[in-house]
């Protein structure tokens, strides 16, 4: 009986949300909710460290638009054929989907660090407060793909298969009704990554010494959480990319996002490895869990 009740995940009948006279695109609403959740978490975590939560809000005012711009630019560069066919003005229609997380991550973090410096905030502790909120925002934002019926995976008959309307299916899959819900896989992965980052930071705070942040020789300082996040995101994205069937730009027959994920994993892994080796007398992992 349970198998009959959970035989598939239906897709929303429309990609908009009506609020009186307003017809809001669900994709944009989910992104906005993700941003709100991330700012809320970051403010609370920064305040618990003795900081002014308004400093986080000021960072968000600059970092969020920069992140959206970077995400759209990354998508336009890596999927330029789509805009060549649909018209370059389509780049402005972000409500139709198409935000590249690596580009948004890079632009948003760089702008955020610039604001951290302008406000005279401690860079490491600010990153420790903010970084766990990033995968939370991504998890919520991914629900926008569900409303748009896009970026799903290969056909599946699993109980959690995602129902896709014929109008949103590739021509070669018109006779298939259910597909892997990659938006859900990525959302769950990001929530688990968020939890891992919170655990790592909690244990770091419990075990830190007074010189943890100020002594550059210490490599379990909170700024390294960013490397853990980048590595974790890269691992999850490679897994997701192997399941997705949507058209994508290829380099040597491999999806561009897979290459970018490998760069993230290699770069962050190398950073953590070098950091651990430079710590005098340190044994074991950089982040005890």
Quick check: helix, strand or coil at residue 181? coil
Other C-beta atoms closer than 10 Å to the C-beta of 49 total 13
The pLDDT-based confidence of 116 (bands split at 50, 70, 90) is very high
Whether the CB-CB separation of 165 and 228 falls below 8 Å is answered with: no
pLDDT beyond 60 at 14: yes
Q: Which pLDDT tens digit goes with each residue over 172-213?
A: 999 999 999 999 999 999 999 999 999 999 888 776 544 334
pLDDT at 238: 95
Q: Which pLDDT tens digit goes with each residue over 43-79?
A: 999 999 999 999 999 999 999 999 988 888 887 777 7
* Token digits of residue 52: 């002014």
Q: Which pLDDT tens digit goes with each residue over 205-241?
A: 776 544 334 443 343 555 689 999 999 999 999 999 9
Q: Which long-range contacts (CB under 8 A, 24 or more apart) does 119-127 make?
A: 119/55, 119/58, 119/59, 121/51, 121/55, 122/213, 123/223, 124/213, 124/221, 124/222, 124/223, 125/49, 125/51, 125/213, 125/222, 126/46, 126/51, 126/59, 127/222, 127/223, 127/225, 127/226
Look up tokens 């890596």; give the residue.
78
Find all residues with CB under 8 Å of 166, minimum gap 6, and list them.
174
pLDDT beyond 70 at 101: yes
Distance CA 14, CA 244 (A): 22
The pTM of the full predicted model, rounded to 2 decimals, is: 0.85
Q: What is the mean pLDDT of residues 151-162?
A: 94
Q: Which pLDDT tens digit goes with each residue over 117-146?
A: 999 999 989 999 999 999 999 999 999 999
pLDDT at 18: 74
17 DSSP β-pair partners: 24
Whether the CB-CB separation of 127 and 226 falls below 8 Å is answered with: yes
pLDDT beyond 90 at 91: no
């Amino acid at each position: 009986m349970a198998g009959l009740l959970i035989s598939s995940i239906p897709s929303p009948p429309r990609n908009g949300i009506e609020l009186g006279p307003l017809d809001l695109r669900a994709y944009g609403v989910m992104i906005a909710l993700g941003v709100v959740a991330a700012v809320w978490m970051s403010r609370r975590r920064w305040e618990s460290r003795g900081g002014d939560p308004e400093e986080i809000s000021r960072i968000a005012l600059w970092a969020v638009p920069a992140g959206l711009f970077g995400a759209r630019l990354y998508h336009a560069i890596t999927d330029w054929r789509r805009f060549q066919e649909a018209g370059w003005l389509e780049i402005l229609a972000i409500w139709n989907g198409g935000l590249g997380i690596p580009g948004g991550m890079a632009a948003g973090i760089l702008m955020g660090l610039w604001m951290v410096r302008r406000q005279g905030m401690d860079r490491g502790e600010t990153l420790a407060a903010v970084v766990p909120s990033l995968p939370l925002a991504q998890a919520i934002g991914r629900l926008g793909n569900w409303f748009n019926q896009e970026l799903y995976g290969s056909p599946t008959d699993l109980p959690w298969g995602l129902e896709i309307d014929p109008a949103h299916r590739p021509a070669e899959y018109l006779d298939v009704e259910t597909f892997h819900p990659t938006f859900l896989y990525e959302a769950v992965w990001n929530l688990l990554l968020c939890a891992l980052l919170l655990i790592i930071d909690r244990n770091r705070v419990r075990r830190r010494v007074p010189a943890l942040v100020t002594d550059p020789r210490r490599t379990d300082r909170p700024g390294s959480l960013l490397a853990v996040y980048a590595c974790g995101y890269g691992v999850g994205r490679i897994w997701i990319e192997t399941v997705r069937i949507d058209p994508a730009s290829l380099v040597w027959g491999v999806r561009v996002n897979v290459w970018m994920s490998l760069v993230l994993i290699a770069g962050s892994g190398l950073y953590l490895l070098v950091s651990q080796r430079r710590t005098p007398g340190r044994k074991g992992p950089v982040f005890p869990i």
